[in-house]
Chain A
Amino acid sequence: MGRSLLDKLWDEHVVCQPEGEPALLYIDLHLVHEVTSPQAFDGLRAAGRRVRRADLTVATVDHNVPTTPNHRPIDDPIAARQIEALQANCAEFGIPLFDMDSPEQGIVHVIGPELGATLPGKTVVCGDSHTSTHGAFGALGFGIGTSEVEHVLATQCLPQHKPKSMLVRVNGRLAPGVTAKDLALSFIAKIGTGGATGHAVEYAGEAIQVLSMDARMTLCNLTIEAGARAGMVAPDDTTFAYVKGRRFAPQGASWDKAVAQWRALASDPDAHFDQVVELYASSLVPQVTWGTNPAMVVGVDGEVPNPKAAKTEVDRKAIERALEYMGLSAGTPIEEIKIDVAFIGSCTNSRLEDLREAARVAAGHRVASGVRALVVPGSQEIKRAAESEGLDQIFKAAGFEWREPGCSMCLGMNPDIVLPGQRSASTSNRNFEGRQGRGARTHLVSPAMAAAAAVVGHFTDVRRWEYRQASAGGK
């Protein structure tokens, strides 16, 4: 029997398998941010423990940081204290920190790959559920809690049961205007928010092979919303081209050796998977969530569902409750839903390709009156790259705010929140009640769909978009 990508990653990282206990799994890269780490460092101090491998640990600030230009000092004293705690902890334990003034600061799941810290074949953990993002490189990346952050800091290991494996084969290709975001949302709708619980998902098939790394990261990022431990894509030439030359990537002779090893990570043709799911990319349309979890989603050409059509009583109540919270009535065409806010950003959709797609839609148009539209690049590096292409000028000319990197309005831990009752078209990952602000109504969409909604003031099918040249003012 052949081995899957998961089998190969797993076997390589098992330190030992103690009798009657989970395997002890070695962690190659530990990403740390300000929100889920202070209590872990306190735990280390209380027990008199040290950080075992500060050299395998990378920290940044992203969740709390304001994204308005010239945002120092931070107004929120509690947020400031949390960031100061990370600075002090990194200094005390010798951990490299990409701080607010660093040219490489950004969302933790954006900068890991950018720095070349995330590499094929690695185990990657972070105190954040969207650590599944790193699986796009053929790494095993999964989110952990603060106690586990402490565990990894102290031992560089975690006791883990091996996840079950799920192969998601995506046949055909995505149509123009349909993105990895739409693919991910339709996958979550198919298997449900808990459908992949306990599994590591490997995406394969023609549609995946032609995806860019930015798109693969979006797809793996959202895998957690189906309950999965991890989402992965086998590394290939697209992966290697992205990784090559990055700061922490292997160089020279060790590069060639590494690529040879990475190529061997792909699942063997006769590998066993506990579950196999088939998806068809070519029939997919742009997706818009209508409810309060990411599985509550429908095509932009569809309508808000009727609770009476639910299969069970609990499902019916869940739909009713979601519609009440969202202020929607059954049968409303999705394209008639008006928005107040458009947010383009987050670890799901803040990369250069995302910004390019949104800018292409925004070019030569204006944000609808009464709509507030934000573009928050995922990192300083992306911000610089976008600016060198003139994307910032396109956005600003169209009436979008151009911000500094951070998690921002995805979860509104910083001042970027959606007000009660307001409706947002958001490229982020969670439409939970209150996620973007208490009473906020979130609709998850792709970057192009969010930009289009910002311009016309309601959801619209980006496949019919009237693309224009950037007006004067753009570079």
Chain B
Amino acid sequence: MEQSALIWLSLIVFLPALGALALVAIPSDKPDVIKLFSLGVTVAVFLATCVVAFGGATDTAHFEKGVAEMQDAFSLPWIKSFNIYYFMGMDGISFTLVMLTAFVTMLSMGASWSIDRHVKAYCILFLLLETGMLGVFLALDFFLFYVFWEVMLLPMYFLIGVWGGPRREYAAIKFFLYTLLGSVFMLIAILILYFNSDLRELSADQLVAAHVVDGVDAAEAIRSEPKAQHTFNILALSTMGQHTQLFDDELFLGKSLQWWAFLLLLIGFIIKVPAVPVHTWLPDAHVEAPTPISMILAGVLLKMGGYGIIRICYPICPDAAFDLAWLVTSIGVVSMLYGAFAALAQKDFKRLVAYSSVSHMGYVMLGIGVWSATAGNNYNPEYWQMGMNGAMFQMIAHGISSPGMFFMVGVIYERVHHRNLDEFGGLFAKSPVYSGIAFGIFFAGLGLPGLCGFIGEVFVTLSVWNYSHVLAVLSAATVILTAGYILWTLQRVYLGPEYKGPHGDHITPINGRELAIAAPLLALAILFGVYPRAIFDYMTPSVNKEVEDLAGWTRATKESRLLEQRVELDRRRGIENDPLIGEE
């Protein structure tokens, strides 16, 4: 089993990179061959993920529905002197995102046919980008994760900087600088966690469960080592975060090690999400990037932030996550509101869609942050499960609707060469099929019941009520704002008597290639809206397990710590043996 996992997961991740290598050999004066080849590679990667999802043959890796634990995990030593492993695997959280990545990348390669400058370089960078993205979702070694995370930066920089719009260089360097700053913080946190980790603190069963070693004997050998055994294994670090005191030492300013690590990691991830106030790279990057790259940015790259928070921040630093839940949820709600208001004010069609992404990704932050499993409802993790599932679903739904919206903008931009909202209107009459699809996809973004956007939003909003009434009201209000800017946009662009803007005679009906890209997105938006279990069945067990683990940790560990804090508070006030511990 491990052998086939090694082969298939490595294949999925590195097939694009191999494709990029092969592209070097194709002469650059044959752009169509290059594009077809690249499309073939992305299709092959998507098919490989499909085989893993639906295949079930014994000699391939297979993703089993309904299993919460890591599946198809394998681990090979890579850099032994630092305990770095080539360690990959997938569970419901990562696998759905891998499917999404392969799917969106395939479609956006299809959308790349309009690229006509330096096609070879474009395709090479595009494929390298895909390797980086898939690697991030599959890596379970923190170092490996970081390497993939950084590997994406450079191709993205060039894809925006060379093939982008008029202010492309500014947008590209801004994107690079923001993300690099975040990843530097992440690197610091990784190192802090690494040097404070110790595998000997885990039991033999935990070591085996975290795929550190294969058997109990080897685990015992690790446990009897004389020196501290550091690790980059994300699963082992999570176990340490939840079952040991390793990350609780004070680091700086009276805050614990994991508090700082959480904050540093959170900064790195929310830059990618992006959340207010570090979102400003996104509108620039989106507006300047070519359409396919915007699709990738919105569809996949933004999800890495959310994925990082779910996979890394929360399980490894639960204590800090509990204490800072207010920060995560507030950032989420502020992003939702700010993004929605900013979208309302935009004149540029693409910028509007970009701000809608900021707003929609705010739901993800909010859903993740709802730590409802606090005292008061008897540590019942039900609401938090709902919020976390909603956040995950929102990521997938946004990964479908947002690339669709960017593609719709791109289709019309290629024809009329402007994106000024005030100069559109009347497109429905000129190009009904295109407008119909656009309506569907924008409604999905709006969160209309029956389309994919609805499920995630409603799950998150419902779950918040038990956490904070204020945030719940605000997040519900955002739904109205979202409806406002999307309906207004549709009205300004597609409705109205006739098109009066420039290049009116260039507006041709949507062509077959464009239809082939837009239609699957709309179909999935409808499918996931009507039958959300198509996604939930894959991810719910893993999400629920993580939430239950953390809720269990709250009950077992955090409760007594809170109690200690209150007793300490009382003692400082001079009250002893007061039944109302910690109350005024």
A binds B: no
B residues adjacent to A (C-beta < 8 A): none
A residues adjacent to B (C-beta < 8 A): none
